[in-house]
Amino acid sequence: MVDRQEDQTRLSNNSINVDGTPTDSWRTHLLENDQLDEKSLHEWMAKHVPAYRGPLTIQRFTGGESNPTFRLTTPRHNYVLRRKPIGKILSGAHAIDREARIMEALGSEGFPVPHVLGLCDDPAVIGSAFFIMDLVEGRIFREAALPEVSRHDRPAYFETMNRTLARLHSIDYAAIGLQDYGRRGNYFERQISRWSRQYFEDTAAGRDRNMDKLIEWLQANIPAGSGNTTIIHGDFRCENLIFHATEPSVVAVLDWELSTLGDPLADFAYNAMMYRIPSRIFTGLADVNLAVLNIPSERDYIELYCQRTGRSSITGYNFYVVFNLFRLAAILHGIRGRIIRGTAASKQAEKRVALLPELMAMAWAQAEAAGVERT
């Protein structure tokens, strides 16, 4: 059993117009080391993907610091390909087979995920392992404030995002064959140890005093009684959701690379962390006027999740937020290391990583505030 919240995450996703066509920002030129062997891929899909017929056109999705993602267009059907990146990667990271496995399992339960059509673990086909899934049409919002949505409709979009995550946490993972998808118990001890070790070992990416203090604080402040285990997504935010083209409903949840079995409150706090982060750093709301935009408050959002999961409150909530700020900082620290080593999968990575010192300082400030509350 392996706990797979590794050192990477995709920090931006695909964007599709209401009619299902790609926006200009939805694709970018293929990077030289990410070009796919079209002939080899076509031959593989003809053998392994039901009803596949060429010719095949390949375009790289914008973003994807972790697993590069491509749109595959044919006259009859559109697909998405997720692959491991080219170059040296950490052992156990970029587990394409795990992404395919959990989406297949959740799909059998009726949870909104793209339908997986085939998995290839032979790197000889396109240079690395990959899987093929259906392309789900709809809307993906890059900003947590949902500027594309009317003021009147925004609460419904936050409600459906909240409800979708609560539904994920209610699924019986053993009943759908995921009992060995991760470890149970001691989630925070293991996670803090894992991310700390990767932070200290990645000497190329450097050290930061705020991050060092944060690790010490987290180790000393794990809430008593934490330890509930469910399926957790690990990167649940609006950019990784496809919403219906015209309605406030989630039609697909994307990017399952960081999924595992773990504490659902950590997963929820990662999603709700948007209230504590400004938009210039991540998918945040800290720098917007929630009342003017008609966005539920952080307290209301927490209460909604509690109602859906049968809780009266979340004890130690600030710890969960600080933990996720630390985890996000560790992820960006790992991406900075990959940039230095020349293996980062997206040019957008450098822009995100430039904000890492500010994120680390913000995380420590939250820890200090939470520490005062605990005394």
5 within domain boundaries: no
Summary mean pLDDT of the chain: 86
Assign residue 183 the CATH number of its domain.
Answer: 3.90.1200.10
- What is the chain's Cα-based Rg? 20
Residue 153's pLDDT is 97
Assign residue 28 the CATH number of its domain.
Answer: 3.30.200.20
**End position of a domain, from candidates 104, 134, 164:** 134
- The torsion region of residue 227 among left (phi > 0), alpha (psi -120 to 50) and beta comes to left
Q: How far apart (Å, rounded) are the C-alpha atoms in residues 337 and 356?
A: 12
Residue 353's pLDDT is 87
pLDDT of residue 23 exceeding 50, the answer is: no
Residue 89's pLDDT is 53
11 within domain boundaries: no
For residues 170 and 238, state if they share a domain: yes
- Pairs from 366-375 (Cβ < 8 Å, separation ≥ 24): 366/276, 366/318, 366/321, 366/322, 366/325, 367/213, 367/214, 367/217, 367/218, 367/221, 367/322, 369/318, 370/221, 370/318, 370/319, 370/321, 370/322, 371/217, 371/221, 373/318, 374/221
H or E segment to which residue 117 belongs: strand 116-120
Q: What is the DSSP letter of 364?
A: H
190 within domain boundaries: yes
H or E segment to which residue 28 belongs: strand 27-28
Q: Report the range of poorest mean pLDDT among 11-15, 258-262, 271-275.
A: 11-15
Q: What is the DSSP letter of 271?
A: H
Tokens of 163: 């409800």
70 within domain boundaries: yes
Give the residue numbers spanning the domain of 35: 24-134
For residues 129 and 230, state if they share a domain: no
Q: How far is CA 184 from the centre of its chain?
A: 21
Residue 20's pLDDT is 31
Structurally, the chain folds into a number of domains equal to: 2
17 within domain boundaries: no
Please choose, from the candidates 140, 122, 14, the residue with its C-alpha nearest in 3D space to the C-alpha of residue 68. Answer: 14
pLDDT of residue 146 exceeding 80, the answer is: yes
191 within domain boundaries: yes
For residues 360 and 245, state if they share a domain: yes
For residues 87 and 202, state if they share a domain: no
Residue 164's pLDDT is 98
Q: How far apart (Å, rounded) are the C-alpha atoms in residues 303 and 263?
A: 18
149 within domain boundaries: no
CB atoms within 10 A of CB 290: 17
Backbone angles phi, psi at 140, to 5 degrees: -120, 125
**End position of a domain, from candidates 76, 99, 134:** 134
For residues 233 and 108, state if they share a domain: no
Q: What is the DSSP letter of 238?
A: G
| Residues 6/346/164/296 CA torsion (nearest 10 deg) | 110
Helix, strand and coil in the chain, % to nearest 5: 45, 10, 45
For residues 355 and 268, state if they share a domain: yes
**End position of a domain, from candidates 134, 169, 197:** 134
Q: How far apart (Å, rounded) are the C-alpha atoms in residues 57 and 66?
A: 22
Query: Which tops the pLDDT comparison, 13 or 349?
Result: 349
Query: Which tops the pLDDT comparison, 321 or 225?
Result: 321
Q: How far apart (Å, rounded) are the C-alpha atoms in residues 27 and 88?
A: 25
Residue 204's pLDDT is 86
Q: Report the range of poorest mean pLDDT among 97-106, 124-133, 252-261, 340-349.
A: 340-349
* pLDDT, tens digit (0-9, with 9 covering 90-100), for 203-212: 888 999 999 9
Helices 356-374/317-341 angle, 10° precision: 160
pLDDT of residue 262 exceeding 70, the answer is: yes
For residues 300 and 182, state if they share a domain: yes
Tokens of 309: 């999961």
Q: According to the per-residue pLDDT averaged within each range, which of 10-24, 232-246, 347-361 is highest?
A: 232-246
Residue 68's pLDDT is 85
For residues 178 and 311, state if they share a domain: yes
| Mean of pLDDT values over 146-163 | 97
pLDDT of residue 303 exceeding 70, the answer is: yes
SS3 state of residue 112: coil
- Pairs from 275-280 (Cβ < 8 Å, separation ≥ 24): 275/301, 276/321, 276/325, 276/362, 276/366, 277/325, 277/362, 279/143, 279/144, 279/145, 280/355
For residues 197 and 103, state if they share a domain: no
Residue 231's pLDDT is 98
Confidence of residue 345 (pLDDT cuts 50, 70, 90): low
For residues 190 and 331, state if they share a domain: yes
pLDDT of residue 347 exceeding 70, the answer is: no
**HSE-CB of 294 using CA atoms within 13 angstroms:** 11
Residue 351's pLDDT is 79
For residues 169 and 108, state if they share a domain: no
Residue 363's pLDDT is 94
pTM reported for the whole predicted model: 0.85
32 within domain boundaries: yes
Residue 5's pLDDT is 38
Query: Which tops the pLDDT comparison, 90 or 264?
Result: 264
Q: What is the DSSP letter of 92?
A: T
Q: How far apart (Å, rounded) are the C-alpha atoms in residues 364 and 214?
A: 6
Tokens of 190: 């293991």
For residues 170 and 285, state if they share a domain: yes
pLDDT of residue 8 exceeding 60, the answer is: no
Residue 243's pLDDT is 98
